[in-house]
Amino acid sequence: MKFTGIAGLLVSLGIAGTALAADPFYVGSWTFTTAVVAPWADPQRKPDDTERARLMGRAVVFKARAILGPRPFACAKPQYKVTDYGPDMIFQGAFDVMQRADKKADPKAIAASLGFTGAVIKTLETGCEIDVHFVDETTAEVGLNNYVYTLKKR
């Protein structure tokens, strides 16, 4: 069988039928850079600092078929789904819950205090314990045990 043109070139290079698209924006190594007490945390009780200290400076690596990193971020078989959420739905709906308890709590303003802008926030649902909310393509935030952690892509 003889191939000509672009198809022939692709077959001869052994890449026919493979995706030529780049990896999704979230694939790669992300490092914990900062952590702040979450807006939903009880102001009367300081969250346990042990986990925060353990995570700072550590990396989480999102691969096509696994997430590598410290507990509870590691995951052997993630089921990735990128979804657009409104500010009220990030961090598993925590800002919506806050607004239900106090009508003055504005999810958009609370999200903005954490660096999110706009009405749509790109979220990576992992199918594991953690969802990742993106400020931009190189900055992400996750909520865990009354802290909001910032991850920077490396």
Which residues, including other chains, have CB under 8 Å from residue 54's CB and lie 6 or more apart? 70
**What is the model's pTM?**
0.84
Tell me how far apart the alpha carbons of residues 147 and 142 are, in angstroms, rounded to a whole number: 8
In a domain, 69, yes or no: yes
Q: How many residues does the chain have?
A: 154
18 pLDDT exceeds 60?
no
In a domain, 90, yes or no: yes
Alpha helices in 48-113 (DSSP H): 50-55, 90-101, 107-113
In a domain, 8, yes or no: no
In a domain, 4, yes or no: no
Question: What is residue 22's predicted lDDT score, i.e. its pLDDT?
Answer: 79
In a domain, 12, yes or no: no
Which residues, including other chains, have CB under 8 Å from residue 137's CB and lie 6 or more apart? 25, 153
In a domain, 109, yes or no: yes
Q: For the segment 69-108, what is each residue's pLDDT rounded down to a tens digit?
A: 999 999 999 999 999 999 999 999 999 999 999 999 999 9
In a domain, 9, yes or no: no
Q: For the segment 97-139, what is each residue's pLDDT rounded down to a tens digit?
A: 999 999 999 999 999 999 999 899 999 999 998 999 999 999 9
2 pLDDT exceeds 80?
no
Which domain range does residue 51 map to?
22-153
Question: What is residue 1's predicted lDDT score, i.e. its pLDDT?
Answer: 45
Q: Which has the closest alpha carbon to 143: 80, 105, 82, 92?
A: 92
Percent of the chain surpassing pLDDT 70: 86
Tell me how far apart the alpha carbons of residues 92 and 107 are, in angstroms, rounded to a whole number: 12
In a domain, 7, yes or no: no
Residue 20 — very low, low, confident or very high, per pLDDT cuts 50/70/90?
A: low
Torsion angle (degrees, nearest 10) of CA 15, 17, 18, 24: 150
Domains of the chain: total: 1
Q: For the segment 45-64, what is each residue's pLDDT rounded down to a tens digit?
A: 988 899 999 999 999 999 99
